[in-house]
């Protein structure tokens, strides 16, 4: 297991924006999958390649697309986690990259499990801590459907 220790409030603005971007993206996909089913996410996955979000790393984007494709393909949670952890170990060079990939892996597994968007939001908030909560919510502009 990879231990990631990053203090959210010590991240740069660009890094905080990247974390918020991926959390928002995954909550939006969770909402859609709950309404329309996991297969409805195929178009969203293809659009991730074309998304021109400023400051978002290609590594994080590729990681999300890879895991989402595995999920839509019907792979088991254990397979997705193993592949995700391998990518984290061998592709991420910095603690921040590992932090982002850990959040993405958690989000994909949450979508696959059909967890509520509220629970997913709480999981993401646990990564940023109580001191980063307000900043994270302002950056992510998460709009929940409940």
pLDDT at residue 129, rounded to an integer:
85
Residue 112, CA atoms < 13 Å, CB-side half-sphere: 21
The model's pTM = 0.89
- Tell me what pLDDT residue 139 has: 87
Q: Report yes or no: 101 and 85 within 8 Å, Cβ to Cβ.
A: no
Q: Which long-range contacts (CB under 8 A, 24 or more apart) does 39-47 make?
A: 39/72, 41/68, 41/71, 41/72, 41/111, 42/72, 44/68, 45/69, 45/72
Phi, psi of 70 (to 5 degrees): -60, -40
pLDDT values of the chain reduced to their tens digit, one per residue, 146 residues: 554 557 888 899 999 999 999 999 999 999 999 999 999 999 888 888 777 666 688 899 999 999 999 999 999 999 999 999 999 999 999 999 999 999 999 999 999 999 998 899 899 988 888 888 888 888 888 765 54
- Is the separation of the CB atoms in 117 and 124 below 8 Å? no
């Amino acid at each position: 297991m990879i231990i990631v220790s990053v203090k959210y409030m010590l991240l740069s603005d660009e890094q905080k924006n990247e974390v918020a971007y991926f959390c928002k993206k995954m909550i939006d996909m969770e909402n859609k999958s709950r309404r329309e089913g996991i297969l409805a996410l195929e178009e969203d996955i293809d659009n991730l390649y074309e998304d021109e979000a400023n400051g978002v790393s290609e590594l994080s984007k590729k990681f999300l697309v890879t895991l989402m494709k595995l999920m839509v393909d019907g792979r088991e949670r254990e397979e997705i986690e193993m592949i995700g952890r391998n990518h984290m170990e061998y592709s991420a060079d910095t603690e921040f990259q590992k932090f982002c990939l850990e959040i993405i892996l958690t989000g994909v597994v949450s979508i696959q499990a059909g967890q509520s968007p509220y629970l997913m939001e709480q999981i993401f908030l646990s990564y940023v801590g109580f001191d980063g909560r307000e900043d994270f919510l302002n950056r992510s502009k998460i709009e929940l459907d409940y």
